[in-house]
Structure 1
Amino acid sequence: MSLSTLLLNRPIPRDAIELGHLVADPVQPDQDYCLPEFSEEGVEDGSSTNHAATLQRIENFQDVLEQTRGTKLELSLLKLLSIGASNPDRVSLKVSSSLCIIHQLRNSTAYFDAACEDRAVRDWLERQAKRPMSTAYLICGFKTLTDARVELVHYKDNVLDFSSSVPAAVIAGAAGVPLPIPLDSGLDVAAGVSLNRKSYENLGYTATGEQVFAVQYRKIRFALFSTKRVDTAYLEKGNRWKSYINTRSREGQQMDENATDGIEATPDESLRLEDLKEGYDSIEVDGEEILYHTG
């Protein structure tokens, strides 16, 4: 399955996110999430806290930036990495001495099936399913930069405007512009002259540690049903269970046969542009769909 990649609006620390996290909002993966207990077992090399993870290293992130030159995605990357430059279209960006790492979940479907055996995961998923217009997402991959050296050059224009009736010699001397009339004519002229002076401001910093800048998701699809209308075998297959919330709230009461006290959760397709709020766009780079904020 080809997964789209969502460029975050801000970098987040590596320890604030993990493969296999179930999140409520893809734009803020470090908020309102659930992590199955077995995901914390770790791996031998210590490179990830998820035993089902694979890593791919890209030694020079500047090459990645070069592929986005002249696109709106370049501007979004600039905003993400420039720590809120006030006028990013007047900034030159270079990322050097950095290591880009792609963290990937090997088998997201099998992982999710195992995760749903966890009572806490089922409880969290059910709360998401019961909320109006609620969705949930499984983190299947993310990209990080490690100890990235970011160099920014801010370009500024200082403009001095002269627009009035002043002695021609004064204007000519200030602007260095030849006039079509003799300077000793004694005439004053109405003229407008702009003096442009460019200045440059260099800024460099190192983002210490590993920072997450992009995430890949699969949506979780929910289906509600009545356990009174299905047999036991149906509940035993797939990620289906009897509602914990309805069971607690209806203790001692007779449940309607049509009441939806059962829930099914299934990992579905990748996050798509239509799943995000307005202000997002997409572009394909080397066969990968990148979703990014344009505001």
Structure 2
Amino acid sequence: MSPSILLSQFFLPLSAVSLGRFVISLDNPHQDFHDPLRHSGHEVTEKVQTQYDSVHHSVKHQNVASQLTTFLSSSFSRRLKASVRISAEQAKTYYLKNAGEWFRDAIQSKETQKWIERTIDEGEDIYMIVAYHTLLNARITEQLGGRSAASGNLVIPVSTALTASGVVVPFTNVADPGFGGFHGRVEDEQRRFIAPGEQMCAVQYRKVRWRWFASNKVDAMTLAKKAWWERYDRPRYLESETEDMIEVELEDEIALEGDCDECTIESGEVFVSAA
């Protein structure tokens, strides 16, 4: 099973990402993407966990959802160099059922084939979204202690991080229904925010692997077992033995650059924070 990667911008609304989407960035699945045409017969599976919190006294009693928020809180704290706690009413996972079949159907589209070729020519890797994880009414508590300038601690406030990620954070009682819609209040030595509604926090991908090959060097039986098409950008004057075909398939292994934290939860799913 491929790992689920925490979003670098912490949260995204459900409208920003769709299952089966082809993307070039693991951190920004809502940018520079291609959505294949929808196919009937492909279903989405939902798994729900309710009433959980990122703070527990006993690791033994942490369920899948609480383990996720604990890891999310740790990642958030590390990125901002501050003490951050995240809790929520519910966690939900959306899976694309039979992702392999979805992929084979999607690449029958000429528009999708051309997008893949163009992206390969530009030197980009390609990934397909096969699942994503959400939190319902997530609460974010930021500990404000130790923030004086004299202490020499330079930290980024949660509000600044949320704003930098494209989310407007109004300190009012009215939630912004646009990109995330956070509102918050200050109380004692803590600053609290709420992300109303269902917000996406992590995405699971499979990588699209590809290769060029010459059709006259492969037998028909081998071709029948692969997902392939005749490349669109091949000059017609080239000889027949040149690499005139492209073969694509999905693989689970994804290489992440730089340092990253990894968490394996009770269900066997792996979450990774690459920031």
Do the two structures share a fold, i.e. TM-score over 0.5?
Answer: yes
Aligned residue number for residue 128 of structure 1: 119
CA displacement at 1:117 relative to structure 2 = 1.1
1:170 corresponding residue in structure 2: none
Q: Aligned partners of 2:20 and 2:149: how far apart in 1?
A: 53
Amino acid at match of 2:248: A
Q: Is the 8 A contact 1:153 1:200 kept in 2?
A: no
Write out per-residue CA displacement over residues 196-232 of structure 1, whole angstroms, 9 at most, x where no aligned residue: xxx9522222212322111111111101112344466
Question: 1:53 is aligned with what amino acid?
Answer: V
Match of 2:85 in 1: 93
Contact residue 6 and residue 290 of structure 1 kept, 8 A: yes
Instruction: Report deviation, 1:68.
Output: 7.0
Q: Is residue 229–residue 257 contact of structure 1 (8 Å, CA) maintained in 2?
A: no
User: Does 2:201 correspond to 1:213?
Assistant: yes
Distance 2:146 2:188 in 1: 6
The residue matched to 1:36 in structure 2 has which SS? coil
One-letter amino acid of the structure 1 residue matched with residue 46 of structure 2: L
Structure 2 counterpart of 1:106: 97
TM superposition shift of 1:92 = 4.5
Does 2:243 align with 1:260?
yes
Q: Which amino acid aligns with 2:133?
A: K
- SS state at 1:156 partner: coil
Which residues of structure 2 form unaligned runs of 5+?
54-61, 152-186
8 A contact 1:235–1:241 mirrored in 2: no
- 1: CA distance, partners of 2:194 / 2:74: 20
Q: How many angstroms apart in 2 are the aligned matches of 1:114 and 1:35?
A: 13
* Structure 1, 150-159 or 262-271: larger mean CA deviation: 150-159
Q: Displacement of 1:263 after TM fit?
A: 0.3
When normalised by structure 1's length, the TM-score is 0.67
Aligned position for 2:31: 31
**Alignment partner of 1:277 out of 252, 257, 260:** 257
TM-aligned CA deviation for residue 78 of structure 1? 3.9
**Partner SS state of residue 135, structure 1:** coil
CA distance in 2, matches of 1:74, 1:204: 14
The answer to which structure has the higher strand fraction is: 1
Identity among equivalent positions (%) equals 25
Q: Taking structure 1 as reference, are residues 66 and 27 closer, same or farther at Cα in structure 2, changes over 3 Å only?
A: same
Instruction: Write out per-residue CA displacement over residues 15-66 of structure 1, whole angstroms, 9 at most, x where no aligned residue.
Output: 1101101111112111111111115x7xxxxxxxx94211011112415675
In the TM superposition, residue 279 of structure 1 has moved relative to its aligned partner by: 2.6
SS of corresponding position for 2:112: helix
Please tell me whether Structure 1 or Structure 2 has the larger radius of gyration of its CA atoms.
Answer: 1
Unpaired stretches in structure 1, ≥5 consecutive residues:
42-49, 162-198
Change (3 A) 1:37 1:73: closer
SS of corresponding position for 2:202: strand
CA offsets 1:93-127 (integer angstroms, 9 cap, x no match): 1424x221100011111110111111111111122
- Cα deviation, 1:218-253, whole Å, max 9, x if unaligned, reads 11110111234446665554311001122xxx2xx4
With over 3 angstroms needed to count, the CA separation of the structure-2 counterparts of 1:228 and 1:146, relative to structure 1, is same
Q: Matched residue of 2:114: which SS?
A: helix
Pairwise CA RMSD of aligned residues?
A: 3.1
Could you tell which deviates more after superposition, 139-148 or 150-159? 150-159
Change in 2 beyond 3 A, CA 1:258/1:129: farther
Residues of 1 paired with 2:109 and 2:150: CA distance? 68
2:190 corresponds in structure 1 to 202
- Is the alpha carbon distance of 1:92 and 1:38 closer, same or farther for their aligned partners in structure 2, counting shifts above 3 Å? closer
Specify the alignment match of 2:21 in structure 1.
21
> What's the TM-score once normalised by structure 2's chain length?
0.72
SS at match of 1:155: coil
Residues 92 and 36 (structure 1), Cα distance of their counterparts in 2 relative to 1, 3 Å cut: closer
**Letter matched to residue 221 of structure 1:** R
Deviation above 6 Å: which 4+ runs of structure 1?
A: 157-161
